[in-house]
Structure 1
Amino acid sequence: MGFDRVLGNLDLNLLVTLDALLRERNVTRAAEQLGSSQPAVSAALARLRRHFGDELLHRAGNRYELTPLAVQLAVRTAPALAGVRRVFDTSSQFDPSTVEREFTVVVSDYAAAVLGPVAARLMSERAPGARLRLQQTTPHAVDHADETLRATDGLVLPHGFLADIPHTDLYEDRWVCVVATDSPAASADLTLGQLADLAWVALYHRPTAFAPALQQLRMLGVEPRVEIVVDNFLPMPFLVAGTDRVALMQERLARRVADAAGIRVMACPFEAVPVAEAFWWHPMYRADPAHVWLRELFAEAGRTLDPDAGVSGTLMTGIGG
């Protein structure tokens, strides 16, 4: 059956009902969420079962469970709904002061902590009816960037991971080393020899997911002795504090948490390539007025960041020192 014929036989409202049924796993609760009647949702479930040739929900004792096909569908319905909503949110005119919609941007915890507050403030001032959703990034989201960008409004990620995807440059930062304030390594400038000897807290530590500066260190012949692997940047300073471990972090974030975590921010003993953060977006949004506005807002947020906290500032060898 052709794609157009499939769409012609379906009501897009069924997608909304399918999403509710797969999340609630109960006709009554799905009806309540949708503001519909139970008979109407039951009828929609019957249509969905005929379409997929599958029960989707089957009774197990006093509750319903998803069939294997329904488990697959549950992963796809939310992104599909988001895509449909973005299609119908598109307009030749865009007035941020009156818009009521949600913008979803995929970010690391680092970008959420550093850029997020500025972007949120600008959006609150200029589009009070809009909502900003900062969705945590993952290696899968980056490895499947085209799929990610079809289901969201953008991805904040440094250069070096993606190619042939439109982007808007935001700001620069630099890599620093962090050690505990009472670590012997904090008493003087770090050396490459120390980085080879110290235990490391590393991000991801996978072939396709790594901090670029850590990969650069390997290219200099220093193989970090990784003791702890984390999926986010924010835990790193607290896993370094009170130990002889070391970690690589972005300077803006490291300085923000240094006092609370009990760490010292140290200059890297090698020329680490700066972090060049960018807002990546799908080509289908190129001329979308709402998306153009969003990209410009994030670019302004990047320019608004304190210039003394990034690559243009003078790095201190220690907080308070």
Structure 2
Amino acid sequence: MNLASLDLNLVVALRALLEERNVTRAGRRIGLSQPAMSAALARLRRHFDDDLLSRVGGHYELTALGQVLLDRTSAACDLLERLFTSQADFDPAREEREFTLVSSDYAVAVFGAELARTVHREAPGIRLRFTQTPPGIVEGVGTLLSTTDGLLIPHGIISDHPATELYRDRWVFVVAEDHPDIGDRLTLDDLARLPWVTYQRTYDAPAVRQLGMLGIEPKVEVSADSFTVLPFLVVGTRRIALVQERLARLLVAVAPVRILEAPYEAVPLQEALWWHPVHTHDAAHIWLRETAARVGAMVDGQVIHGVDEGDPGVRSPGD
């Protein structure tokens, strides 16, 4: 396929047709007459050797290929828009632009809030939009990065994309303040026998995957798509939850829980901002990455009160 021989206007027409599933509405959406839109559909049908839209009763439905192209066309249009809105110069104090970052609620609470405060001070015309990390991030990371400005996620989950380093964190366990079975320390036996609360899929975190090498399979009783609710889901129960220490320190003031050291050498967490190569030379995105790195270094410099040697490892809201 020779890209130079393609009419890229057909990409816009294809997206409108697949999403509207109606020639007249698709034409109205992109400013084409009904005959012009019908002609575009005819060209697309010849190109793909497929009807794309097939009449069923009084309406049109997507063919199997049309359904496949629906998501791909949307991603292609988003990528083209980002490509052709790239800038050679960027003045954060004067520009108006929105950046979309995909992130867990953990990264928003620990890093995103500080980033938003910095942007508020330095770039009043810049808007930040945080969207939730989807469960299937590993399988669709390329498509995701092509349609957003970046992904906040630690190392060890995805690879093969450029990243800007942000800050470090480590994993700790939280248990109910009045947990009946746990004293000052957790043991590997506790991890094996007690019920767990986990984030999304149990083995998404490398620190949880480590347990498999120790012969421990967590008994998941509750899972949630939010890190910030995990401490609240252990309150009043025998459950345990693995949580990032920076987040645990924020939440211990509002949830009656204790923070305990992991009874094994849990792999540390290095948070990063991952981005698509299409953004590499965009001045606005360079500013975003540099600002994120600066804020990340500031977060990294904030001391989290870890457990010293000889300390029983218990932290309560009053500490």
Tell me, yes or no, if the aligned pair for 1:173 and 1:311 is still in contact at 8 Å.
no
In 2, are the aligned partners of 1:176 and 1:250 still within 8 Å (CA)? yes
**TM-score of the two chains, using structure 2 as the length reference:** 0.82
Partner of 2:211: 217
- 2:249 matched to 1:255? yes
1:68 equivalenced with 2:64 (yes/no):
yes
Cα distance between partner residues in 2 of 1:121 and 1:59: 52
1:92 to 88, 91, 98: 88
1:259 and 1:221 map into 2 onto residues whose CA distance is 34
> Structure 1 residues 36 and 217, CA, compared in 2 at 3 Å: closer, same or farther?
same
Deviations 1:69-117 (A, max 9, x none): 1110111112111211121122322223344444333322321332222
**Number of residue pairs the alignment of both structures matches:** 315
State the secondary structure of the residue aligned to 2:204.
coil
Runs of 5+ unmatched residues, structure 2:
none
Counterpart residue number, 1:266: 260
2:154 to 155, 158, 162: 158
1:65–1:256 Cα change, 3 Å: farther
Structure 1: which 5+ residue stretches go unaligned?
A: none
How far the C-alpha of 1:297 sits from its partner, in A, is 1.4
Q: Is the 8 A contact 1:174 1:310 kept in 2?
A: no
Match of 1:278 among 268, 272, 281: 272
CA distance in 1, matches of 2:243, 2:101: 22
1:19 to 15, 22, 37: 15
**Structure-2 residue corresponding to 1:3:** 2
Contact 2:252/2:316, CA 8 A, preserved across alignment: no
> 1:294-313 maps to which residues of 2 (within 5 A)?
294-305=288-299, 307-308=301-302, 310=304
Larger helix proportion of the pair: 1
Equivalents in 1 of 2:190, 2:88: separation in Å?
A: 58
TM-superposed CA distance for 1:318, in Å, is 1.9
Cα distance, 1:260–1:20 mapped onto 2, change above 3 Å: farther
Of residues 32, 46, 52, the one that matches 2:48 is 52
Q: CA RMSD in A?
A: 3.1
Query: What CA distance in whole angstroms lies between the structure 1 residues aligned with 2:47 and 2:247?
Result: 50
Code of the aligned partner of 1:226: V
Measure, in 1, the Cα distance between the counterparts of 2:209 and 2:316: 24
TM-score (norm 1): 0.82
Please state how far the C-alpha of 1:164 moved relative to its aligned partner: 5.0
2:237 pairs with 1:243? yes
Percent of counterpart pairs with the same letter? 50
